Structure 1
Amino acid sequence: MNLVEITRALTTLRLSGIAQAVEGRILQAQAEKLAPLDFLSALVNDELTRRSDGFIQRRLKQGAFRDAGKTLDGFDFDFNMLMVTRKRGFLVMDGEKFESSAARGSAGCRRKVEERSASRWSPGLRAS
């Protein structure tokens, strides 16, 4: 079999990730004198990468997101933080850390929650 026939056979077997990378991987294997197992491993890894990328692209397309190209890298998390805390009322700024005010609660409430969870884990200890 020559390279064209191998590519056609891989495409027929629905292994297009391997079909796209086989020529480059053959050259790499010859240049680096890769063992057959390493060569096969690289080809399988190429196919897995192509499939996972295709899966993510399909999900993004099906999701029909308004701003599909945007990422969180460019988002300004510090923008108007006071408005966020006032509007939602559940974020409490404690230095650099944000914490839920529901989890924070009052001191008495927190103590009872801690006692309750302690009694769950150690049967000899009971909350009063």
Structure 2
Amino acid sequence: MYSLVLNFPFKINKIKTQHIYKTKIERKENLISFALNWRYPITIEGATCLSISNENDLFLYVFKFEDINKAIDFMENTSVDVQRILEFTDVKKLVDKTNKLMIEYEKNEKGFKRNKKKKLIEDNDGFMRYE
């Protein structure tokens, strides 16, 4: 069991807020994984978040470090920063999500074209109808 230090982005009485959480941290080459009870937007210096999954009422975090030395350093100093935002700012995910929404919008846009004004037409029998 490791002591994972969660650094929160706010202060109480001018004191930095931290929480020490006991959890199992696993490292395989430059990948680090650990589980927390809550989902936090976490960042680690020199690493990118690969995935966050919900398994057995725990959130499993997987981070990939730039090189193996930074991953080894993290195992010695297990400190992470909790961000204020709820989603990670990963440009590729954002572009993919935007493209997907745009494709759906364009599909629906064809079905919602503005109706043409209908003309009032009189039949031979004297009935009036719109076309």
The structure where strand makes up a greater share of residues is 2
Asked if Structure 1 and Structure 2 have the same fold, meaning a TM-score greater than 0.5 normalized by the shorter chain, the answer is: no
